[in-house]
Copies of this chain bind each other. A is one copy, B any other.
Amino acid sequence: MKIIKKVSELQKIALKHLVNKDEIGLVPTMGALHEGHISLISKSVKNDDITIVSIFVNPIQFGQNEDYLKYPRPLEKDLAICKKNHVNYVFVPSAEEMFPRANRTRVEVKGLQDLLCGRFRINHFSGVDTVVAKLFNITFADRAYFGMKDFQQLRIIEKMVKDLNFRTKIVPCEIVREKSGLALSSRNFYLNPEEKESAVLISKTLKLAKEEIKVKSFSAAVKNAVKRISSIKNSRIDYVEAVDFNDLSPVSKNTKKAVLAVAVWIGKTRLIDNIIISKIVRE
C-alpha cells in the first residue's frame, strides 16, 4: 500500500493505471474510518483492479461554526484499516495541497444543494462537489463509492457526474448500522453514552414510520415520526422530511420513490439518517 500526499504524484500514477487499462476505484472519505467505509472499500477491492482511498477532512465543506477543527483524525488507525482491507493507494493531502489560499473555483448543483441539509449548511454541498470533482480529475476513477447515509450528497454527486460528463460511475452503497440500528458515522464518536441512547431512537423511528405507512395515511405516519424525534431527549430537529428520491422535492403521498430523511442534533452532535419508504424507481 502506497501513501501519497501530492496531487501531481497521484495523478501521474492514476494515469498510468488508466493507460494500462486497470479499472480504478475511488473511495472518498474524511477518515475516522468505520465499518461503513470498510463496506465501500471492500466493494471497490472486489470490483476494481486498483482501489484508492482518499482521507481528507475537507475544509470547504464545513461552515464557520461547524466541527472542522475537532473532526476526528485518527490517521494511523485509518491507515492500518486501509492496509488490512487491501487498499492500493491512500491519498492524504494537506488542506493547502487541495485548496491553496488563492483557490476560487466551485462546482455547484443548483437547486438540489439548497434543500434538506443545504438549508442548514450553506455552501456545504458546493464544498463537497468541488472536492469530489477534484478527486475525479486526480484519480481518473472508473467507479466511486458513496454511502446511502449521505443520501442527498449521493444524489447531488450523481447529478454532477451526469451534468459534467465525468467518466466516473457512482456506486451507491447501503447504510451500515450498529446492532441497535444506529447508522454508523464518524460523528458518533462525539456522543456520550446517554446521547447514544437518544441517537438510537432516530433509526428506530424511521423504521417505525416505514411500517406505519403501510397501515396508516402517509402524512399521519410522517407526522408521528416528527413527533417521536422531537420528543427524543437532548434532540433538536433540523428537518424530518419525506422527499422524492430523484429530485429531493417534498412528497406528501407514497409515490414509488420516496425517502424519509432526517437531520437532528443530539446535544452538540448533528446526525443524519434516512430510510427508503417505498420502492425506488431510478430516473
The digit string for A127-163, where 1 denotes a CB below 8 A from any CB of B, is 0011001100110000000000000000000011001
Q: Nearest Cβ distance between residue A274 and chain B, in whole angstroms? A: 21
The A interface, classified by DSSP as helix, strand, loop or mixed, is helix
Partner of A163, one of B104, B129, B163: B104
Residues of A near any B CB (own CB < 8 A): 7, 11, 15, 18-19, 21, 103-112, 129-130, 133-134, 137-138, 159-160, 163-167
Whether B165 pairs with A137 at a CB distance below 8 angstroms is: yes
User: With contacts A19-B19, A104-B111 known, what are 20 further pairs, Cβ within 8 A?
Assistant: A11-B165, A11-B167, A15-B167, A18-B18, A19-B21, A104-B110, A104-B159, A105-B107, A105-B108, A105-B129, A106-B110, A107-B107, A107-B108, A107-B164, A130-B164, A134-B165, A137-B164, A137-B165, A137-B166, A137-B167
Q: Nearest Cβ distance between residue A151 and chain B, in whole angstroms? A: 17
Query: In the complex, what distance in Å separates the CA atom of A129 from the CA atom of B106?
Result: 11
Which residues of chain B come closer than 8 Å to A106, judged between CB atoms? 107-108, 110
